[in-house]
């Protein structure tokens, strides 16, 4: 497995906000996951397809990809098409734009021993575009003020600024399974100012293991999140409300809780998972025991079941229309839109509270009042 920098770009959102977590997490084993393995396979396939597009010799990795399937192939095709469009646009500014794939990027001028790998760079006179593929679909990733992308951009400037006199930097998150293409542009001067005034001081603290612990959304992928005292203290602060019924709380109390409740739930689930895994490894938790969880019945041999029911003169199979995802895989994205685009509808989602920074527009509450729905009782 490739060695990662202590202050890696992918973990920058965490160590920028919680500097001492960088050294704290060194004591934990770097455990992989199916999601990470799937992402690695997707990157390998996209790298291969992009090199094919550019006429660069490359070995077909598909026979060695555990998670390869039609969806991954479709995403690779979309990614390659998008990069091709960027290259075409870059040729308007520059006859021979530079396109780099899986490029090592060194940002150690600002972050000690700092480096990472950029999925794709497109460089033309005066412009730099940094593209990062995100194959995951759990969380939609935004390019704006994204520390990982900003570090990649800093590293790319180190390599190419003198050659191409770059003045504008564009960062693109390509997340095909969320139908998300997030683009953010910043001037080189503003990016370098951020690196000098925000990045460098935080990186110095993080490398030394100094600074203040601080919990937040960045805790999600922290290896120490199960045992972190700072995270526990911040979540336990909600206990001052003593879980009173909402009518006994002030509006300010409710607003405070709303701002933290998602983190509280996430922390509680992390603690439960940590305790379970520890118990499975032999740890005894006083007052608790391992028991068999609930399970659902399933056929031990589906072929034998189908044969038995068919022999009785009955049809063992359900015949129903393929779902949208399966139909898209069957037809291909372009053909699907041509044939069925006008027949697809998306109903209005159920109302949910979201912070003001959420990019979705606010709903009109008068619609619910008129319909007599979602009233308090």
Per-residue pLDDT of the chain (377 residues; tens, 9 = 90+): 455 689 999 999 999 999 999 999 988 887 778 899 999 999 999 999 999 999 999 999 999 999 999 899 999 999 999 999 999 999 988 888 999 999 999 999 999 999 999 999 999 888 999 999 999 988 889 999 999 999 999 999 999 888 888 999 999 999 999 989 999 999 999 999 999 999 999 999 999 999 999 888 888 888 888 888 888 887 777 666 666 666 777 888 888 878 878 877 887 888 888 888 888 888 898 888 888 888 888 999 999 999 999 999 989 998 889 888 778 878 887 888 899 989 998 888 888 888 888 778 888 776 655 554 444 43
Helix (H, G, I), strand (E, B) or coil at 224: coil
- Residues 42 and 167 occupy one common structural domain: yes
The answer to whether position 316 is within a domain reads: no
- 82 and 24 both lie in a single domain: yes
Beta strand 115-124 pairing with 98-106: antiparallel
Residues in contact with 254: Cβ distance below 8 Å, sequence separation at least 6, in sequence order: 246
Q: Is 357 exposed, middle or buried (0-12, 13-18, 19+ CB in 10 A)?
A: exposed
Residue given tokens 């139908």 in the structure block: 179
Same domain as 130, residue 244? no
Say if residue 80 is in the same domain as residue 193.
Answer: yes
CB 212 within 8 A of CB 219: no
Nearest CA among 266, 49, 30 for reference residue 139? 266
197 with 229, same domain: the answer is: no
107 plus 165 within the same structural domain: yes
Q: Are residues 21 and 147 in the same domain?
A: yes
Residues 149, 257 within the same domain: no
Half-sphere exposure of 266 (CA within 13 A, CB side): 15
Kindly tell me the burial class for residue 129, based on how many C-beta atoms sit within 10 Å of its own C-beta (0-12, 13-18, 19 or more).
buried
- Among residues 235, 261, 280, which one ends one of the domains? 280
Query: Are 186 and 142 within one domain?
Result: yes
Assess whether 195 and 229 both reside in one domain.
no
Does some domain include residue 184?
Answer: yes
Residue 287 lies in a domain: no
Of 149, 173, 208, the position where a domain reaches its end is 208
In the chain, the number of structural domains is: 2
Q: Decide if 63 is inside a domain.
A: yes
pLDDT tens-place string over residues 277-302: 888 888 898 888 888 888 888 999 99
Task: Supply the range of the domain harboring residue 271.
Answer: 225-280
Terminal C-alpha separation, the chain: 56
Residues 264 and 174 reside in one and the same domain: no
Decide which of 248, 280, 312 is a domain's last residue.
Answer: 280
One domain for residues 231 and 199: no
Packed helices 324-331 and 333-340: angle between N→C axes, nearest 10 degrees: 110
């Amino acid at each position: 497995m490739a060695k990662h920098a202590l202050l890696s770009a992918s973990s920058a959102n965490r160590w920028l906000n919680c500097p001492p977590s960088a050294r704290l997490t060194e004591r934990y084993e770097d455990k992989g996951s199916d999601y990470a393995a799937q992402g690695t396979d997707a990157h390998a396939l996209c790298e291969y397809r992009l090199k094919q597009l550019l006429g660069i010799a490359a070995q077909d990795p598909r026979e060695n990809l555990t998670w390869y399937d039609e969806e991954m192939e479709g995403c690779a095709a979309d990614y390659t098409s998008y990069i091709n469009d960027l290259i075409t646009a870059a040729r308007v500014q520059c006859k021979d734009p530079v396109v780099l794939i899986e490029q090592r990027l060194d940002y150690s001028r600002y972050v000690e021993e700092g480096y990472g790998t950029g999925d794709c760079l497109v460089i033309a006179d005066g412009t730099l575009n940094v593209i990062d593929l995100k194959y995951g679909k759990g969380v939609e990733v935004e390019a704006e003020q994204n520390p990982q992308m900003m570090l990649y951009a800093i590293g790319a400037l180190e390599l190419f600024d003198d050659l191409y006199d770059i003045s504008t930097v564009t960062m693109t998150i390509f997340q095909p399974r969320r139908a998300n293409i997030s683009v953010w542009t910043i001037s080189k001067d503003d990016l370098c100012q951020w690196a000098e005034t925000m990045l460098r001081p935080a990186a110095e603290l993080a490398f030394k293991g100094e600074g203040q612990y601080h919990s937040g959304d960045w805790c999600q992928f922290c290896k120490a999140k199960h045992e972190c005292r700072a995270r526990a203290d911040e979540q336990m602060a909600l206990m001052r409300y003593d879980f009173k019924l909402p009518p006994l709380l002030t509006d300010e109390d409710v607003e405070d809780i709303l701002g933290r409740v998602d983190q509280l739930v996430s922390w509680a689930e992390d603690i439960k998972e940590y305790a379970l895994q520890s118990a499975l490894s032999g740890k005894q938790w006083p007052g608790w025991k391992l028991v068999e969880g609930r399970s659902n019945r399933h056929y031990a041999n589906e072929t034998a079941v189908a044969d038995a029911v068919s022999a009785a003169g009955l049809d063992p199979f359900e015949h129903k229309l393929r779902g949208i995802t399966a139909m898209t895989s069957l037809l291909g994205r372009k053909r699907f839109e041509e044939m069925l685009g006008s027949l697809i509808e998306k109903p209005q989602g159920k109302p949910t509270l979201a912070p003001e920074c959420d990019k979705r527009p606010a709903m009109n509450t008068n619609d619910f009042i008129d319909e007599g729905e979602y009233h308090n009782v």
